[in-house]
Amino acid sequence: MELKELGKTGVMIAEIGLGTWRYQGGVEPLRKGIELGATLIDTAEGYYTEDVVGEAVRGVRDKVFIATKVSGRHLGYDDVLKSAEESLYKLGTDYIDLYQIHWPNPTYPIRETMQAMGELVDRGLVRFIGVSNFDIDEMEEAQSYLNNYAIVSNQVRYNLNDRSIERDLLPYCEEREITILAYTPLDDGHLAKKPGLIKSNKMKILEEISQETGKAMGQVAINWCTSTKSVIAIPKSNGLERTIENCGSSGWQLSPKQINRLNEAFS
């Protein structure tokens, strides 16, 4: 598994992690992913999967980078602190590697939210601060209230079928060395179809490159995501076979010509 630096922290993490939104696979696929080097696991209090993640990392916590999120409904100062404590308990750990704000909510003063996030780092309960589903203005406002710490990541939707972040958010984060955590890199499975079920021209290009590389279509789609330096992909799978396949998206590279063909086909 290839590694990438998280923001400008000097900490190297897996370029393909394990997502747990709508996850129902139990402990085994997560443990297999960890075994294969996908040692980044992303969860959230709103996913209701922190307990299974905690079970999966038991005994190997020191090898795993845990990212979780405070709900956008719990962004008051005291609520952030309470949510973090509850996540720590469910995860069975005494620290969270990356604590993220799940989505922006203007109902709560962002100054208050970020003060609580900084307090968690001060107390040693959180190592790094991230956001999710934030646009540039929201990121800049949130950062303005963090005097001692940097926002190291933004978790957003990104895949071949949804490249909207390329307009402004991705260049902004690349310039500032902020990591993009790409959720749904397989577009809810639409980019991992089996050969013979392909109808659209763009999917035929994906299938062609799959054949050229000897990799599954889903592996090509994930590798395309991670071909951008600042992007880490966090696909979700409930099963062992797909988890193994997803992890096999790392350790090789699409050629520049193949990347260009995909960019043009999925433009």
Contacts 24+ apart (CB under 8 A), 238-242: 238/23, 238/24, 238/25, 238/29, 239/25, 239/29, 240/28, 240/29, 240/32, 242/192, 242/218
What is the distance between the alpha carbons of residues 161 and 98, in angstroms, rounded to a whole number? 27
Q: Containing H/E element for 256?
A: helix 256-265
What is the distance between the alpha carbons of residues 82 and 95, in angstroms, rounded to a whole number? 14
5 sits in the region (left: phi over 0; alpha: psi -120 to 50; else beta) called beta
Nearest of 97, 95, 98 to residue 85 by alpha carbon:
95
Query: Is 108 among the catalytic positions?
Result: no
- Sign of the Cα pseudo-torsion (163, 191, 226, 100, in order): positive
What is the distance between the alpha carbons of residues 125 and 211, in angstroms, rounded to a whole number? 46
23, 47, 108, 183: the active-site residue: 47
Q: To which residue do tokens 């043009």 refer?
A: 264
Active site residue ranges? 47
